[in-house]
């Protein structure tokens, strides 16, 4: 499904590198590979001796670093982030990494995910005199570290601070003597460790390693704190690993097809979901088409298993950008097809299986079904390569309320009716878990299914149920 | 194959509309749909009464019209162009449409294609006192029209001027009392006529009609001059139709998959080419992958016919843009994969069929084969959904010299060796013609095969053999 | 008076250089010094062997050349222009220099001034088959040169073409073997010749020579054609010199205070006008203040002669730029003072002599008188260092119609009433001519007084009386 | 003297408004009027109910607010700042106002000046767990407020925090229920209170009131804390007023000529300094000229008192902007005169009195003397309308070290020799104090003369003697 058309977005991607003379340039390319995880802001912080350099801005990576700015980022270690911002977190001050300046040594932090007890921790910190300049959860961690007793070592202070956080998070922390990397106790968001020559790198997705030519070493483990400095890499823990619960939507929608999560390739996992779906439902149809880009893999799988030919029934424009030009009334009535066009001759007079990865509000599905029917499809059978979304996500996916989800209080047939499809099929939860095929032996093979089942792997704080309650004026 | 990686480009797309109050807005969307035909400049000219308004600039359509400029383009008729510029034609003065101001009535012209006797005509005109401000062939037509005897009607002067041109061209001409549309006698470039409510529209490709909601009426015929004014549409001829010779590369590479040319859908034609290829060669392999975006259709066809599973073995970045950041030495050695990434788990340990639409210089093919092998492919079999390119094009495709073409003086096996493939297969010319399947009964079913065979459908002037000889200081 | 506030503008400044390896850079600085003569467009054309390079754009010189573009302008000769555009001449295609490309040798032309028989010449040329792409008079000259019989030498063709032009003009023409410079037979616009080392330079004002370090040699003479090439400089004539008639407004308003015209310094001439004014009128007042920037010199002279102290009663903002922020209603009522602020303590309770260089429509004068009275001035005596403007200018000053001129059908006292002044005095025409003090012994000491007297030094063509009749759709 | 040429800069200007529906627009215009106090960054924060909106960026006010951003700043109270940044304080995170978000109510702060015990306070705060995100002194105040005991009222906490600061400062603080305004106990920086209809406004200079149409009420008093909320205005004190010590350089150089400080107009004060100077020295000369813009008033005064005619001997370009175009070697040798040109005919063969406001490093003075001599001046007598600068400023003027000051260890004659002048005269300190003429009866009439005498009105902390010691990595 098209991110641009529906607003199912994840919050951010992170990158870090220690010990490479081209730290900033490599971070630039690393963030470029993670661009699909956040397009609203980007930043890189480098460390040159004790001095921290920072450049960040709103927009794409190559907009923020459009000139020679990167050359000002001297130093051989760096962290960076690409950012998707929720309504509450707009503004240049929220672009990460944040830098905390101190006469005794500075600190830079970037993170990915969502901390469910952030409001409680903020209130606690404010009562002790902390003041906040951003709405971001990242700032909470910095205050917690700073507030820890001065008699602890820095590593212990970071561990203590991390142990107070609940939710989904991947942190990269650059201090004046090291790079620290942490993953939440459930491992809800992907985070991988790699090597580039003698340098260590970390990234939200392995596709960043491929672009920079780094080798994947392993995933950062749930509850693990990795400390990298000039003496090497040390693994520590700030929490016992809880049951692993990797976000299913990473496999279904977020991650790039060429990334692997815990050794499982995304394209392959999606294709298996498409195949499984073809085994769970039988449809008489002439062509299979996927909604580009994220549903192509599942559509190929569905076609291969069902034997129904796979076609490009929908084309995504390569040149989409912001436009302020108003379409005419006539165009508006027909639905402007700037981003997605049906291929008339492919679907005209045909029974079409339209494969999509998920349905959120249903409005986009309805528009695509309509596009296909206008182009002459005699039947449109919608098959979804994941189960119905029925519960909000508190771990960084921007689905905030039940009421936004078309599937919350509707039967499959009611949804089918609303989107105008001739049939509608969702992949079963078991089918999805088996098709993805994580080797983990824990519940759901270590996948978080909360948005499909309402069973959350972590405690959910009442105040944070609705993210808009977190708004800080 | 990736246009960005090799420089096989076509020159331009044109659009025109007569009789719609939102002429400029519709032209904007029309050009947006034609953006793939030229990304280096865009312009729209509208006519408001006798007054011509013009806005043009370098860059993409949504860069040239990034604000409210479109609202300055008043009037209910318009022509526009998106431009790919050759080395010789850079500069804002060459961005079309050109406007020729006159006290007796102005004229605006845009065109697509290449006029092979342009230099001869320029010299002829200059000897008679014409002066030129651009390097573009378009200006030649305007001078020819103006130079024709004043006793002729405007229509006759335009016909006489058009009849002097040799080569490939699609012209849209906006005068103070009408919109004229002309196609060269061989019909080398696509040009379609449509209706949007009561308004007439023309466009290089039908995908523009789909976006604006217009209905396709027919192709403009070879040698035809269409005159549209407030009295309606009239069809005239400036030349007898020669043998129709539509550019094969439009089907193979240039046109958008959702466009139709002379009723034949591009995606479907490419898929048939892929199927035919699978019948022409037998390969033992594990996966089929296409080089995005233009080779996907052929790859699907190859997979369907051969029974070898189709996979996303290569991913194209969605966020490619200009970057001035230098990759590090390490990255340069491994080949920067900003635009194209192999999906390691898909190809690792596999025998891969890599489908591409064509090979020009071979350098890109070599890089992609190498990417796949680095990612673990045990064999890479390159199959090309068109015949070897052996002759330069004089009709608007930017392949200017024999020496640039890897296939000119090499056997297929020598090319295979150069690109490092385990096998290399080209589609036969007959196979391509049959797979595309134009209903035309003339030679090659009305396709131009000049770049594959060296047989040109028009006279080729000695002076113009090498476009760089056309350079005007 | 403030150009920004009233629209009394002149059309353009030109620059040329022959024989210097840094031709483009020097032209950049030359145009920068001429920036006050036109802020709406700038361009430079260089010649490298037979090849012409051109960069031009809309905006200030340092906006058009904001990056490294200048380095693309190779070659050791160049011409350039800064442009003020009338309503009819907007658009990038009208930015000069124009380049006319030809297989037999190209030509670039820039000009300054206004040709009064341009429409007649255009019509004549169009009847012979010429087509125009701009609204600029410059293009007319190029066509006239081209149309001249091929048996003439290029110099003779240029002379013949120039001899057909009527009006005010300064041309710089770059051909593939020389730089030609021409001044109209009345010498209506300033144009100076200088030397920079071995290179020859020409510029509209001598301040350009000061900036680049060139030495002034002499003014270009009325009717003169200078030809500069590698053999040296030759002076020729295309017309007998008519009575010299340098534009008075150059002394009064346009030229920079540090420029000299025909050996007379602008600041000094203005100061003498102020002094003369103080001898022509006696005013009892406490302070003298000038309207920045162009009236400062006259105000100093008035103060010195009258003995009334000179004060900064009005301050011009250094940071004026385009703003889209709407002032509030309250601010609008009081008159936004973004560009000009009264100095309250200087004028409060004082009888103020406000010196301005001229009054065009009177609206700005009225606003400034009002600003001073609001700030507490008890009396405001307006003294104008030039006579009343009563006739339109056809020679390049943008005062196009009688009806725009407040003085056309009004007595001085009626104007005084309209602008709200306590008294109003204009400098007499004789006073101005004497104060400027040109050594020329011809009528009015060789000054054009047409806008003050209605006596035009050249024939005025009926069709061109109103410039808007020249509009070409 | 030209700020651009020498780097004598002050740190910032502030603006605030309470109770006006167009708070953001008025702040925009207020900051525009204060633009001369800082050109490197600008920001506005508005309060809409409890919600704070913030927009800030690097560059001029009309660059930061170049589009419709201002419309996003809803609310009827606002604070803003224009910023001059020292080397240590670059970066978007240092652009003010800063916003501190809190679940119990947010706070925004902007300030002007320099806090001399900032490093001590930061260290103190960090030991208590505060973390800093900027290098700015402003953040220190926010932490001090937050750290104060929760049992105090907000007003008392602000007073306690302010009382801990040493140095020069003007603060505007926007809380969720009021606007607070504070001035340091010596009143080192100007800060005025005004009314705009029913709304209260504060600004660093009164020229901001003139532009927005507000009336001046009074100066904020040394040690005063003004609290403005919907109940009206209350005056309180956080410190006893020390001896008033307004920065002399505000009168000499920084403030706009149309501003008044404590009722004394800047232009008038400067003119009196020029007159006084003419009484302190007798020079035989032909012309007086001032270095634009800040020395014009003193030059007029000098001319009026001495009887030597005042002339425009030096012209400042109206179109200065950043240029990346390298001047040629020839131009470099002669000194590029992009910003300042001598008027040759005015100075050629003349004995020139060149009036400047101050000399910092002397390099600019030397260049200007040289420009005048190259233009033909037979003698150049430099007269400076203030005493020699011998000591660094710790209160916000960017003269950081003794070694930068040409006058620190040199006699007047040695300086004269260095700058190449025929004579050099400084205004005496008593002369300056009397000419400015503040009514204050305390020492030096309430002026700070520290940079001229080395006597600082506040304690100077050893650690802060050299600002570069404050650098925080």
For the stretch C242-265, pLDDT in tens is 788 999 999 999 999 999 999 999
B459 assigned to some structural domain: no
Of B439, B386, B364, B362, residue with least CA distance to B251: B386
Distance CA A208, CA A203 (A): 7
Residues from chain C contacting residue B98 (CB–CB below 8 Å)? 133
**C235 and C376 share one domain:** no
Same domain, D131 and D59: yes
- Of the candidate ranges A262-276, B412-426, C210-224, C324-338, the one whose mean pLDDT is the lowest: C324-338
Q: CB atoms < 10 A from the CB of B124, how many? A: 16
Q: Token pair 């670039």 is at which residue?
A: C108
| Alpha-carbon radius of gyration of chain B | 23
DSSP character at residue C46: E
| D273 belongs to the catalytic site | no
pLDDT on residue A322: 56
Most B CBs within 10 A among C129, C148, C322, hence the mutation to make, goes to C129
Mean pLDDT of chain C: 88
B146–C contact, CB cutoff 8 A: yes
Q: Is A130 on the interface with D (CB under 8 A)?
A: yes
- The nearest CA of chain D is from the CA of A77 a distance in Å of 15
Residues of D in contact with C268 (CB under 8 A): 345-346
Give every strand in the sheet of A224-229, ordered side by side: A98-100, A107-115, A167-175, A178-183, A224-229, A232-237
Q: Do A318 and B25 touch (CB under 8 A)?
A: no
Q: Is the pLDDT of residue D5 over 80?
A: no
Instruction: Measure CB to CB from residue C131 to each of B51, B102, B472 and give the nearest one.
Output: B102
B neighbour chains, 3+ CB pairs within 8 Å: A, C
d(CA A140, CA A121): 7
- Separation CA C60–CA C43 (nearest Å): 10
Residue of chain A nearest B59, judged by CA positions:
A319
- Residue A156 shares a structural domain with residue A79: yes
Q: Same structural domain for residues B204 and B291? A: no
Q: How far from chain centre, in Å, is Cα B453? A: 20
Nearest CA to A415 out of A457, A453, A359 is that of: A359
Calpha distance D33→C327 (Å, rounded): 13
Q: How far is D58 from chain C (nearest CA, A)?
A: 15
Instruction: Look at B412-426, C129-143, C365-379 and tell me which has the smallest mean pLDDT.
Output: C129-143
* C100 falls within a domain: yes
Virtual torsion, Cα A297, A301, A302, A303, nearest 10 deg: 100
Residue A44 CB neighbour total at 10 angstroms:
31
**What is the pLDDT, as a whole number, of residue B11?**
66
C186: how many CB neighbours lie within 10 A of its CB? 26
Burial of B447 (0-12, 13-18, 19+ CB in 10 A): buried
Q: What's the CA gap between B387 and B393, in Å, rounded?
A: 15
Q: What is the pLDDT of residues C331-375, one digit of tens each?
A: 776 666 778 889 999 999 999 999 999 998 898 899 999 999 999
Residues C188 and C300 in one domain: no
Residue A191, domain member (yes or no): yes
Mean pLDDT score, A394-419: 85
- On whether any CB of chain B is under 8 Å from the CB of A400, the answer is no
pLDDT, one tens digit per residue, over C25-80 is 999 999 999 999 988 899 999 999 999 999 998 888 988 988 778 888 999 999 99
- CATH number of the domain that B339 lies in? 3.40.50.2020
Give the contacts of D45 (CB within 8 A, at least 6 positions apart): D52, D53, D54, D73, D78, D79, D80, D97, D99, D108, D110, D174
Q: Is the pLDDT of residue D410 over 80?
A: yes
Tell me whether the omega of the peptide bond preceding residue B293 falls within 30 degrees of 0, making it cis.
Answer: yes
Q: Is residue B356 part of a domain?
A: yes
- Indicate if the pLDDT at residue D462 is higher than 60: no
Residue C21's CATH number: 3.60.20.10
- Which strand (E) or helix (H) includes residue D201? strand D199-203
Residues of B in contact with C107 (CB under 8 A): 131
Predicted confidence band at D228 (pLDDT cuts at 50, 70, 90)? very high
Q: Are residues D226 and D299 both part of a single domain?
A: no
Question: In angstroms, what separates the C-alpha of C117 from chain D's closest C-alpha?
Answer: 34
Whole-number Å distance between alpha carbons of C299 and B381: 86
pLDDT digits (tens, 9 = 90+) for D352-383: 999 999 998 898 899 999 999 999 999 999 99
Within an 8 Å CB–CB cutoff, is residue C210 touching chain D?
A: yes
The pLDDT assigned to A468 comes to 35
Chain B CB contacts of A71 below 8 Å: none
> Given a cut of 60, is residue A462 above it in pLDDT?
no
Chain A CB contacts of D100 below 8 Å: 131-133
The verdict on A281 and A346 lying in the same domain is yes
Q: How far is CA A470 from the centre of its chain?
A: 21
Q: Give a yes or no: residue B204 inside a domain.
A: yes
Residue D169 confidence class, pLDDT cut points 50, 70, 90: very high
Q: What is the DSSP string of D247-299?
A: EHHIIIIIS-TT-EETTEEHHHHHHHHHHHHHHH-----SEEEE-TTTTHHHH
- With contacts defined as CB-CB under 8 Å, which chain B residues touch C473? 49-52, 101, 105-106, 176
Range of the domain at D414: 265-317+326-445
Cα D396 from chain centre? 8
**Cα–Cα dist A461/A116, whole Å:** 6
Torsions phi, psi for B137 (to 5 deg): -65, -25
Q: How far apart are the first and last CA of chain D?
A: 34
Same-domain pairing of C53 and C163: yes
Q: Is the pLDDT assigned to residue D306 strictly greater than 90?
A: yes
3-class secondary structure per residue, chain A: CCHHHHCCCECCEEEEEECCCCHHHHHHHHHHHCHHHCCCEEEEEEEECCEEEEEEEECCHHHHCCCCHHHHCCCCEEEEEEECCCHHHCCHHHCCCEEEECCCCCEEEEEEEEECCHHHHHHHHHHCCCCECCCCHHHHHHHHHHHCCCCCCHHHHHHHHHHCCCEEEEEEEEECCEEEEEECCCCCCCCEEEEECCEEEEECCCHHHHHHCCEEEEECCCCEEEEEECCEEEEEECCCCCCCCEEHHHHHHHCCCCCEECCEEHHHHHHHHHHHHHHHCCCCCCEEEECCCCCHHHHHHHHHHHCCCECCCEEECCCCCCCCCCCCHHHHHHCCCCCEEECHHHHCCCEEEEEECCCCCCHHHHHHHHHHHHCCCCEEEEEECCCCCCCCCCCCECCCCHHHCCCCCCCHHHHHHHHCCCEEEECCHHHHHHHHCCCCCCHHHHEECHHHHCCCCCCCCHHHCCHHHHCCC
Which residue of D54, D128, D150 is in closest CB contact with A91?
Answer: D54
**Is residue A107 within 8 angstroms of chain D, CB to CB?**
yes
pLDDT in tens, D81-130: 998 865 555 677 778 999 998 877 789 999 998 899 988 999 889 888 88
Cβ under 8 Å to D: C residues 310-329: 310-312, 315, 317-319, 321-328
Residues C320-334: what's their mean pLDDT?
67
Using CA atoms, how far apart are residues A453 and A458, in angstroms rounded to an integer?
A: 14
Q: Per the structure block, which two tokens stand in for B211?
A: 């976006």
Residue D17 lies in a domain: yes
The verdict on residue D332 lying in a domain is yes
Between chains, do C256 and D293 touch, taking CB under 8 Å as contact? no
Question: Are residues D56 and A130, on separate chains, in Cβ contact within 8 Å?
Answer: no
How is residue B254 written in tokens? 């240039």
Query: Given a cut of 80, is residue A267 above it in pLDDT?
Result: yes
d(CA B183, CA B190): 9
Measured CA to CA, the distance from residue C108 to residue A468 in angstroms comes to 64
Residue C269: per-residue pLDDT: 97
Q: Are residues B32 and B151 in the same domain?
A: yes
Number of domains in chain D: 2
Q: Do D190 and D334 share a domain, yes or no?
A: no
Q: How far are the Cα atoms of B34, C111, D230 from residue B158, in angstroms, in the given order?
A: 26, 34, 75
User: What is the percentage of chain D residues whose pLDDT exceeds 70?
Assistant: 90
B6 band by pLDDT with thresholds 50, 70 and 90? very low
Could you tell me the strand order of the sheet in which A51-58 lies? Answer: A51-58, A41-48, A77-83, A13-18, A199-203, A192-196, A215-219
Q: What was the pLDDT predicted at A191? A: 97
| CA-to-CA dists, residue B123 to A54, B469, B470, C52, C142, angstroms | 59, 13, 11, 19, 17
Residue contact A92–D52, C-beta within 8 A: no
Q: Which residues are paired to C58 by β-bridges?
A: C41
Q: Is the pLDDT of residue B267 over 80?
A: yes
Rounded Cα–Cα distance for residues B314 and B337 (Å): 11
Judge whether A367 lies within some domain.
Answer: yes
Question: Is the model's pLDDT at D266 over the cut of 60?
Answer: yes
The answer, for C259 touching chain B at a CB cutoff of 8 Å, is no
Does C305 share its domain with C271? yes
Subunit partners of chain A (3 or more CB pairs within 8 A): B, D
Return the number of other C-beta atoms located less than 10 Å from residue B21's C-beta: 12
Q: Could you tell me if D278 and D359 lie in one domain?
A: yes
Statement: residue A69 has pLDDT above 70: yes
Which chain B residues in 409-438 lie under 8 Å from chain C, judged by CB atoms? none
* Lookup result for tokens 């100061």: C271
């Amino acid at each position: 499904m098209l991110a641009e058309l529906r607003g199912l977005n994840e919050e951010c991607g992170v990158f870090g590198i220690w010990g490479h003379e081209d730290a900033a340039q490599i971070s630039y390319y690393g963030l470029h590979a993670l661009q699909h995880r956040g397009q609203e802001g980007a930043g890189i912080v480098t460390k040159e001796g004790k001095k921290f350099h920072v450049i960040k801005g709103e927009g794409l990576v190559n907009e923020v670093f459009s000139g020679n700015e990167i050359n000002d980022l001297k130093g051989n270690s760096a962290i960076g982030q690409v950012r998707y911002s929720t309504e509450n977190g707009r503004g240049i001050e929220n672009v990460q990494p944040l830098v905390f300046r101190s006469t005794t040594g500075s600190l830079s932090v970037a993170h990915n995910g969502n901390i469910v007890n952030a409001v409680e921790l903020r209130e606690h910190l404010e009562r002790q005199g902390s003041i906040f300049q951003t709405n971001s959860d990242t700032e909470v961690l910095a205050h917690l570290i700073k507030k820890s007793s001065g008699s602890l070592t820095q590593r212990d202070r970071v561990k203590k601070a991390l142990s107070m956080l609940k939710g989904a998070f991947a942190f990269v922390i650059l201090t004046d003597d090291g790079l620290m990397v942490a993953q939440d106790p459930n491992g809800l968001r992907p985070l991988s460790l790699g090597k580039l020559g003698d340098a260590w790198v970390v990234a939200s997705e392995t596709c960043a390693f491929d672009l920079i030519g780094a080798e994947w070493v392993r995933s950062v483990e749930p509850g693990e704190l990795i400390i990298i400095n000039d003496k090497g890499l040390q693994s520590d823990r700030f929490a016992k690993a809880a049951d692993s619960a990797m976000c299913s939507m990473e496999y279904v929608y977020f991650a790039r097809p060429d990334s692997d999560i815990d050794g499982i390739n995304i394209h392959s996992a999606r294709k298996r979901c498409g195949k499984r779906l073809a085994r769970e439902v039988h449809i008489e149809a002439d062509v299979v088409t996927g909604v580009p880009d994220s549903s192509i893999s599942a559509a190929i799988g569905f076609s291969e298993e069902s034997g129904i030919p796979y076609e490009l029934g929908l084309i995504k424009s390569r040149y989409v950008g912001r436009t302020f030009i108003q379409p005419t009334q006539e165009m508006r009535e027909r639905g402007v097809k700037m981003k997605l066009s049906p291929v008339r001759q492919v679907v005209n007079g045909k029974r079409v299986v339209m494969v999509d990865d998920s349905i959120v509000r249903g409005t986009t599905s309805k528009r695509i079904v309509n596009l296909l029917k206008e182009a002459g499809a005699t039947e449109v059978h919608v098959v979804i390569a994941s189960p119905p979304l029925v519960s909000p996500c508190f771990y960084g996916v921007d689905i905030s309320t039940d009421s936004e989800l078309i599937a919350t209080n509707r039967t499959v047939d009611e949804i089918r009716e609303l989107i105008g499809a001739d049939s509608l099929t969702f992949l079963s939860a078991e089918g999805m878990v088996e098709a993805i095929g994580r080797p983990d032996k824990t519940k759901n093979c270590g996948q978080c299914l909360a948005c499909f089942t309402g069973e959350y792997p972590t405690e959910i704080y009442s105040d944070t149920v609705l993210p808009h309650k977190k708004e800080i004026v």
